[in-house]
Amino acid sequence: MRHAQVPIIGFAAYSGTGKTTLLTQLIPQLNQQGLRVGLIKHSHHSFDIDHPGKDSFRLREAGAATVMLVSSRRRAIMTEFAQASDPDLDEQLSALNQSQLDIILVEGFKQAAFPKIELYRPVLNHPLLYPTDANIIAIATDAPLLTPAYLPVLDINQPLEITRFILNFIRTADAYLTSTPD
């Protein structure tokens, strides 16, 4: 990812595997370690964070290509895309202010080439992603799993174990990011 200024790690799995649930457990643990966490979530559905009747909604509906809502507590930027197409993760990274972040977690974008932890629950009867995705760096699962020696298996029900894996990943990624020329 050309536009990644901090370590980036994804969570890839089929729908219903528990990506969001796991991330809601990992983020507070990473915060407790003093990390500032950014998150990019890929949605396969149309969504709207604005509401009819609100001024910002009316201004966007009037034709503003980008609307920024700002308060004393947060900022939201809504950008209308000229053409509907599958979002590109690297392009989204270029739009994200990474200056206040230590790591970016990504939910989805399983087809993109970047480091990912695969979440796998055999009971769901989906195929494993790692055999066809060289970017899988670990598998978090709730059942015993035979994998190649290079691929760590983590317990999906032990968020602390996954947090430790991420912290180790950050140390390695930080060394890589600081040693590569711009």
**What is the DSSP pairing of strand 75-79 with strand 66-70?**
antiparallel
Average the pLDDT over 86-97 and give the result. 87
Average the pLDDT over 156-175 and give the result. 90
Phi–psi pair at 123, nearest 5 degrees: -60, -20
Name the residue ranges covered by the structural domains of the chain.
8-42+87-179, 46-84
The CATH code that applies to domain 8-42+87-179 is 3.40.50.300
Q: Helices 159-179 and 19-32, interaxial angle, to 10°?
A: 70
Say which range, 4-13, 85-94, 136-145, has the weakest mean pLDDT.
85-94
Say which range, 10-14, 41-45, 68-72, 110-114, has the weakest mean pLDDT.
41-45
pTM of the model: 0.84
